[in-house]
Amino acid sequence: MALRKCPKCELNYLRPGETICHVCASAMKRKKPVPVEEEEVVMCSNCGEAPAVKGHDLCEECLREQKREAELELMADKLRADEADMPIEEDIEDEEENDEE
Ligand SMILES: [Zn+2]
Ligand SMILES: [Zn+2]
């Protein structure tokens, strides 16, 4: 079986079953889905594995995670605020040192 050269670049030999060489194949693959974006993609600053959502420096997943944590924190804050609403009388008596003259 004679080796055939890639019809595209005519440099590399084809392996059985290939119609173009792997170099051209990966070049084509790279060329295909290039979304036209004016800005370069910023990667998530948290996981660094997914592109960040526009206007944020986190990816969608990390944003969701952050939101969930923020909500949990908000709830915790609310609980704390509720507790703070109830006056703690024990602490007040200590502050009767107004002996200014
Ligand atoms: Zn080729
Ligand atoms: Zn992320």
Tokens read off for 69: 């944590």
46 plus 22 within the same structural domain: no
CA pair distance 22, 4, nearest whole angstrom: 13
Q: How far is the CA of 27 from the centre of ligand 1 (A)?
A: 9
23 plus 46 within the same structural domain: no
CB atoms within 10 A of CB 8: 15
24 plus 48 within the same structural domain: no
46 plus 24 within the same structural domain: no
pLDDT confidence of residue 29: 84
Instruction: State how far Cα 76 lies from the chain centre.
Output: 25
pLDDT confidence of residue 44: 95
pLDDT tens for residues 48-99?
A: 999 999 889 999 999 999 999 999 999 999 999 988 887 666 665 565 566 6
What are the beta bridge partners of residue 51?
43
Nearest ligand (C-alpha, residue 7): 1
Give me the domain span that covers residue 68: 41-84
pLDDT confidence of residue 38: 62
* Tally of domains in the chain: 2
Distance from first CA to last CA of the chain, Å, rounded? 111
Read off the pLDDT band of 39 (50, 70, 90): low
26 plus 45 within the same structural domain: no
Q: How far is the CA of 72 from the centre of ligand 1 (A)?
A: 55
Q: How far is the CA of 74 from the centre of ligand 2 (A)?
A: 22
24 plus 52 within the same structural domain: no
54 plus 79 within the same structural domain: yes
